[in-house]
Amino acid sequence: MKNIDVLMTAPMMPLITNGISEAFTLHRSWEAPDPEAFLDEVGPRIRGLAAGGHVKVDAAFLDRLPKLEIISNFGVGYDSIDAIEAGRRGIIVTNTPDVLTDEVADLAVGLLICTVRELPQSDRYLRAGKWLEKPYPLTATLRGRRIGVLGLGRIGKAIARRLDAFGLEIVYCGRTRQNDVPYRHYPSLLDMARDVDVLMCVAPGGPATKHMVNAEVLEALGPSGILINVGRGSVVDEKALIEALKSKTILSAGLDVFEDEPRVPAELIAMDHIVLLPHVGSASVHTRSLMGQLVVDNLISWFSGKGPITPVAETPWTGGAA
Ligand code: NAP
Ligand code: 8YV
């Protein structure tokens, strides 16, 4: 398969670059002295793309890769890729579902506990020597809280299972009612926000979910409300969130994702009562390695004629099992 040209536009983990360059001819456009000129030169012969991070793959970008057959995305979320446009052009898009579900769910529960029980703040308190003066102030509690999951998919369900075991009531909001789960379904996010104390956001990014969590939803969540976001930053109206936190419209927030990563608003960074993480939901060596291998394996499977392993819904594979 060495005669097949695969493009990578930003650095990826060695497992991916090694795996792709062993099987194919890999072009790393960011390493070229003039990446744009490099893309003009290699673009016409590129048949595979390894995508990830914040690099946008839109119609204009796809125009430069006329022979592209497959986009193998590092991540289950693929809102940086115009998958509908890819599908229109007959290009398959793959992502990395399932292999990261438990890792992200663990992180989400950890972030919720950190936020409610102020664990990072308590750690800072001890290190600053303040415990010698007086005990850390009492915190809010997880006990008795009702959890509203926005996006009860693979990760949302894994979070719900964990929080079930904590003895907490779970409800969810999504476009479709799921008859195989024991949780109450809310078609309206606003209605759910009125009835819960924790809004656990695990929904994908993209135009359909942009700013779903807005000022009205935060108002409905109320003064003891906690927002956790491990889905995508774009789902939350960050300006409205900052106002809601400043005015104590909600109690606190735990955020792993932001609207303009890796830039995080100074107003959020200045707030000591919230918990902020640098998008680390899946970021263990174990899980990132499984994700990376799936990026490579999707390309190998496709170019071996076996079809994609994990195509996304917008570009289903109809040519037989991978
Ligand atoms: P999934 O199985 O596809 O679940 C997505 C859920 O979101 C579905 O239950 C879907 O339900 C719901 N949803 C989609 N569009 C919606 C809308 N417009 N309104 C309300 N609900 C909507 O995906 P997953 O594997 O659980 O991953 C979910 C997301 O987590 C990813 O897309 C990614 O953005 C994020 N993620 C973050 C990290 C991290 O490091 N923080 C890591 C991995 C994933 P309906 O179809 O019924 O609406
Ligand atoms: C990754 C994620 O950190 O899978 C996703 O959707 O958000 C994370 O697992 C990200 O995709 C890598 O950039």
What 8-state DSSP symbol labels residue 233?
A: G
pLDDT < 70: residue spans in the chain: 321-322
Question: Which tokens is 43 given?
Answer: 């673009």
Residues 173 and 79 in one domain: no
User: Within a domain: residue 319?
Assistant: no
- Taking the whole predicted model, whether its pTM rises above 0.75 is answered as yes
Residues 129 and 219 in one domain: yes
Residues 129 and 91 in one domain: no
Residues 127 and 183 in one domain: yes
Return the residue whose CA atom lies nearest to atom 8 of ligand 2. 75
Residues 75 and 151 in one domain: no
User: Within a domain: residue 318?
Assistant: no
52 Cβ below 6 A of ligand 1: no
Distance (Å) from CA 45 to ligand 1 centroid: 34
Pocket of ligand 2 (CB under 6 A): 52-53, 74-77, 100, 279, 281-282
User: Within a domain: residue 312?
Assistant: no
Return the residue whose CA atom lies nearest to atom 10 of ligand 2. 75
Q: Which atom of ligand 2 is nearest to the CA of 257?
A: 7
Residues 201 and 168 in one domain: yes
Residues 50 and 164 in one domain: no
Q: What is the pLDDT of residue 54?
A: 77
CATH of the domain at 180: 3.40.50.720
User: Within a domain: residue 151?
Assistant: yes
Residues 93 and 220 in one domain: no
Distance (Å) from CA 153 to ligand 1 centroid: 6
Range list of H helices, 24-82: 35-42, 59-63
> Token match 């104590």: residue?
248
Q: What is the pLDDT of residue 322?
A: 60
Ligand at shortest distance from the CA of 231: 1
Q: What is the pLDDT of residue 321?
A: 60
Q: Which atom of ligand 2 is nearest to the CA of 100?
A: 9
The number of CA neighbours under 13 Å toward the Cβ of 48 is 28
| Number of folded domains that form the chain | 2
Q: What is the pLDDT of residue 83?
A: 98
Strand order in the sheet with 92-94: 25-28, 5-8, 46-52, 70-74, 92-94
Cis peptide before 262, with omega less than 30 degrees from 0?
Answer: yes
Enzyme catalytic residues: 232, 261, 279
Domain of 77, in residue numbers = 5-97+285-303
Q: What is the pLDDT of residue 53?
A: 75
Ligand at shortest distance from the CA of 174: 1
Residues 261 and 290 in one domain: no
User: Within a domain: residue 141?
Assistant: yes
User: Within a domain: residue 322?
Assistant: no
Ligand at shortest distance from the CA of 108: 1
User: Within a domain: residue 130?
Assistant: yes
Return the residue whose CA atom lies nearest to atom 1 of ligand 2. 75
Residues 80 and 222 in one domain: no
Distance (Å) from CA 131 to ligand 2 centroid: 38
What 8-state DSSP symbol labels residue 90?
A: T
Q: What's the pLDDT tens digit per position in 86-131?
A: 999 999 999 999 999 999 999 999 999 999 999 999 999 999 999 9
Question: Which tokens is 299 given?
Answer: 């390309």
Distance (Å) from CA 283 to ligand 1 centroid: 18
**Would you give the end-to-end CA distance of the chain in angstroms?**
18
User: Within a domain: residue 310?
Assistant: no
Residues 147 and 66 in one domain: no
Q: What is the pLDDT of residue 58?
A: 97
